[in-house]
Amino acid sequence: MSKSDIYQRLLHLSRDAYVGHSELMSFAPYPDDVARQAITPFHRPCGDVLRQETGLVSETYAELKDAIIDAAPYVVWRETYKHTNIGDRFLNNFGCYSIVGEGGPFSSRQIRVWVVYMPAGLYYPWHHHPAEETYLVISGSAVFKRKGCPDETLGEGSTVFHESNQPHAMETLEDPVLCMVAWRNGFDTPPVLTTPT
């Protein structure tokens, strides 16, 4: 499969998952301005961790899960927390890349669509960002933490909504987790770690 075909398959399957989920569609309609944009793939060790992952299964989103993994060598893996004290273990294992949006193979001015991957036994500390956000679990499970809300363990097909600048965190236990994440509004400010008060 060519690189272009890999991107198109990723787009089509992620769009199918998005439009097939009522909570994502009520969060924001799927954009009507999605266009291909050129990217230069950027490798990070977390991409290799994802490709070697054996713990991800999905009944509902099996093809999307495979498309996300197959695209791993051809995407721009993000380094959001590179200049923080989050530590090398997190930096080398936490994976995030864009499908639609800055650094992704597709652009839109309406929403952003990301992939987030965490292997088992990883803690993503409290962080926040102006964009409102909905996570959809594609495969695996994780404990989702939101300030002001009880912790929730969510698995395949579940969603969670983060308000603008609401601190949130995630932890994987025995299972890895693979998510598709949508952003609306406030795109231009990346996530930052939440300083304890």
Binding site for Fe ion (CB under 5 A): 133
Give whichever of 133 and 156 is closer to Fe ion, judged by the CB atom. 133
Instruction: Tell the smallest beta-carbon distance from residue 96 to Fe ion (Å).
Output: 10
Q: How far is the CB of 168 from Fe ion (least distance, A)?
A: 6
Q: Bin 144: left if φ > 0, else alpha if -120 < ψ < 50, else beta.
A: beta
- CB-wise, 133 or 175, nearer to Fe ion? 133
The residue (of 6 and 115) whose beta carbon lies closer to Fe ion is: 115
Of 125 and 140, nearer to Fe ion (C-beta) is 125
Q: Which residue is nearest to Fe ion (CB)?
A: 133
**What one-letter code names the amino acid at 46?**
C
Rounded to a whole number of angstroms, the minimum distance from the CB of residue 185 to Fe ion is 13
> Taking a C-beta distance cutoff of 8 angstroms, is the pair 89, 75 a contact?
no
CB 136 within 8 A of CB 180: yes
CB of 116 to Fe ion, least distance (A): 8
Amino acid letter, 50: L
Rounded distance, CA 159 to CA 134, Å? 7
Q: Using an 8 Å Cβ cutoff, are 51 and 69 in contact?
A: yes
CB 129, min distance to Fe ion, A: 6
How far lies 142's CA from each of 34, 36, 179, 184, 188, in Å? 30, 32, 10, 23, 27
Nearer to Fe ion, 53 or 133 (CB): 133
How far, in Å, CA of 13 to CA of 60, rounded? 11
